Structure 1
Amino acid sequence: MSVLKTGLANPSRMRGIFRYLLHVQGQSEKRDVLERILSPDKLVEHLASEEKSKDKKSSHPMFNDAIRESIKCNLLIEEDEEVRINQNLPKDAINPQTGDKLLPDTFNHLFFTSENEDEEDFGRVCAWYLAQDIYDAPGTWEEVEKLISEQKVGDLKMTSNRFFSQMDDWMRYMGFAWGHTLAGKTVTVPDPTAYIKRNLQCLFNGEEEIKIKDFINRLTTQCPLFETGKFREEIEAQIGQRQTNYLSTTTAFALFRLQDEGDIELKRQSDTDLMILPKANNQVDDDGRISHIICKGDKS
């Protein structure tokens, strides 16, 4: 079962356990000690009382689900009733000074690029949402349900509002979406600007200027939810392929935002290796035909 289907294993709970372990000696703790600290009996009893549960026992479902999913994705390891951070993760990912900041990218690796079969359903759902037209994307569960039916992608496993809520939480936390309130309703927007911005240094790898195709290839290698990635190709085979050399509107929108914010510059410097960024009117020359991307910020 993936985090998509485990409603109590949301980003904040899994992050809370990880943040605690980051700063304890040996980055490990006995499971029962960890449970008492992060999920006290009084809190569990209070929640059970609020929900008028007949079972007043402290079963710690939120803690147990979050621990289980954290272990299953290899963020944490449990041996002999002791839970510890996986020391095989990159050093920066488990450094107390940087680990929490890098956690969204650590989850991206553990969920989508490490051959994690449990999260393939989740990967397809995220790729499907990023493949939608950002200017007309479904922002609520009702709109998502309708579009899934229209596009005939029922095998996405997105069968309830609970699953949509879980997708929403995780995509926002990992930087693939954001939300706002419209006419009293919470609306989600598929926009990977935050993810790409957070990873610009890694994508440029110290270079000042690279071809846009090389940039997208690096982006896809790092996160297969994007164009030509494993999950995106599976989805596009069902809902329709993009035109050759076109980016999706979500990726294009993110690049336009990053250009407006001064992080990158989009240029047409040659007529070879062009990619076309849709909805580009008045944003770049040549109707969105781009050959190179320039890093304007810190490249180190």
Structure 2
Amino acid sequence: MSVINNASPGSHIPSLIFIDRILNRKITKSSDFMTFESINNQNAPGSLFIDENKDEKGSFKIKGNPKKKLPETLKFWTEQGLWDISDEGVKAFSALSNNSNISSRIVRSIFNKKYDIQTGSSIEPLIRGICLFLALDKYTFAGENFFKSTDTPSISARYIPDRAEDDTRLTINDSESLTFTEYGLLLGYMEKVSKDKYVVDPTRLIKVFLMDIFTDVSEESISIQTFIERLNCHIPIFDGGKYRVEIEAMMQSKKSNWQPNPPHTLSKSLSHALYRLNLEGFIYLDRLSDSLDAVTLSLPNGEIRTVSHIRIVGEK
């Protein structure tokens, strides 16, 4: 079942964050594993699941859906490799695991595996949705269009086919829309611009991999093409990445009004993220006059910028 479907294992973000905090606190005190039973039984008070309505015997009903969220979440994300598991139970991988790096740990656990995004129905719907929205220049700051979580099903239906050849559903439906945008905020491929409106901005997502891209300390700078290639080695959802190419092929088969960007022109989502990282002091964007690899960044207010090389400022 889809990780972004609100009835499916792995979709309940509050349970995910709750379990992660329990494991992080435990590992700072000892390296002992926690059993699944102790996590479920000791941290979910029974009153949490009691309904206000009574059954035919006069007893208060138990809310079945909330009660199963904690064990489902624990099992799902342990299987995804977010936490260390053994016959003794589960624990955080490192004493350095904390609330501030949960997003990067989730991203790395997801993209540490290979997926068939044209047929998969677990993590794959999340990846399909991310690639789709990263490819839609319209919903960026430069595109000047924002959207509500309730808009994502219609946007998805407009730009990609409803079904794959094996009948796998490819679009986002109503039961997935809210969780998809919530993951957007958690993982850093979206930002919230008002109470109920979002914009595509993968700055925080890219920031996770900066030190992986600039692994050689002797490199003063790398070409922007090399930067994007290395980024896509870790998370192949950006311009030219494997998953992104597959989704864009789906988008073209839909025969919508979407068109790929011209050669040597980056998508507006990637353009904005690189420019924002530059403004925040994480990287420098350079233009060398003799470079053949230069690309154009499309920025807000119709501004464009030509970039050929990227330098990292240093660990922040």
TMscore range, shorter length: 0.7 to 0.9
How far residue 95 of structure 1 moved from its aligned partner, in angstroms, is: 1.5
Structure 2 residue aligned with 1:294:
311
- Indicate the residue corresponding to 2:33 in structure 1: 28
Cα 1:11/1:53, change in 2 over 3 Å: farther
2:136 corresponding residue in structure 1? 132
Query: Could you tell me how far apart the structure 1 residues matched to 2:49 and 2:190 are?
Result: 31
Give yes or no for contact 2:36–2:89 (8 Å, CA) kept in 1. yes
Choose from 81, 90, 104 the match for 1:74: 81
Judged with a 3 Å threshold, the aligned counterparts in structure 2 of structure 1 residues 75 and 282 are, in CA distance, closer, same or farther, namely closer
Structure 2: distance between partners of 1:21 and 1:180: 32
The equivalent position to 2:251 in structure 1, one of 209, 216, 239, is 239
Alignment of 1:245-256 (within 5 A): 245-256=264-275
- For each residue in 1:157-180, what CA deviation from the matched residue of structure 2 results, as whole angstroms up to 9, or x when unmatched? 3011x3111111112111111113
Q: Percent identity?
A: 23
What amino acid sits opposite 2:16 in the alignment? M
Q: Given that residues 16 and 73 in structure 2 are in contact (C-alpha distance below 8 angstroms), is that contact kept between their aligned partners in structure 1? A: yes
- 1:84 aligned partner: 90
Residue 167 (1) aligns with residue 180 (2): yes
Q: Is the 8 A contact 2:189 2:203 kept in 1?
A: yes
> Which of 277, 287, 292 lines up with 1:268 in the alignment?
287
Question: C-alpha displacement at 1:27, in angstroms?
Answer: 4.6
* Per-residue deviation, 1:136: 4.4
Which residue does the alignment assign to 1:4? Answer: 4
Which residue number in structure 2 is paired with residue 212 of structure 1?
224
CA distance in 2, matches of 1:252, 1:56: 52
| Partner of residue 127 from structure 2, selected from 105, 123, 126 | 123
In structure 2, stretches of 5+ residues that fail to align are 164-169, 253-259
Cα displacement string for residues 218-272 of structure 1 (whole angstroms, at most 9, x for unaligned residues): 1111112212222211111122433223211001011111222222221111331
Which one-letter code corresponds to 2:82 in the other structure?
L
| CA–CA separation in structure 2 for the residues paired with 1:275 and 1:164 | 34
2:311 is paired with a residue of what secondary structure?
Answer: strand
User: Whole-Å Cα distance in 2 between the matches of residues 67 and 20 of structure 1?
Assistant: 11
- RMSD between aligned residues: 2.7
* AA aligned opposite 1:157: T
Q: What's 2:212 paired with?
A: 202
Partner of 1:91: none
The structure in which a higher percent of residues are helix is 1
- More moved, 162-171 vs 236-245: 236-245
Equivalent position to 1:41, from 37, 42, 46: 46
**Comparing 33-42 with 56-65, which one deviates more in the overlay?**
56-65
SS of match in other structure, 2:74: helix
**Which string of whole-angstrom CA distances, capped at 9 and with x for unpartnered residues, describes residues 147-166 of structure 1?**
33332432433011x31111
Structure 1 counterpart SS, 2:198: strand
1:255-295 CA distance string (max 9 Å, x none): 11122222222111133112221237786xxx422110122
Determine if contact 2:12/2:69 at 8 Å carries over to the other structure: no
SS in 1 for 2:193: strand
Decide whether aligned partners of structure 1 residues 27 and 105 sit closer, same or farther in structure 2, where only a CA change above 3 A counts.
farther
- When structure 1 is superposed on structure 2, of 215-224 and 56-65 the one drifting more is 56-65
Structure 2 CA distance for partners of 1:78 and 1:204, relative to 1, 3 Å: closer
- 145 and 40 in structure 1: CA distance in 2 versus 1, 3 angstrom threshold: same
Q: Is the 8 A contact 1:6 1:65 kept in 2?
A: no
How far, CA to CA, are the matches of 2:181 and 2:221 in structure 1? 34
Q: Which residue identity is paired with 2:315?
A: D
2:190 counterpart of 1:177: yes
| 1:41 CA displacement | 0.7
Partner of residue 279, structure 1: 299
Task: Determine the C-alpha separation between the residues in 2 that align with 1:149 and 1:104.
Answer: 28
**Amino acid in structure 2 at the alignment position of 1:85:** K
Structure 1 pair 103–142 and aligned structure 2 pair: CA distance change class (3 A): closer
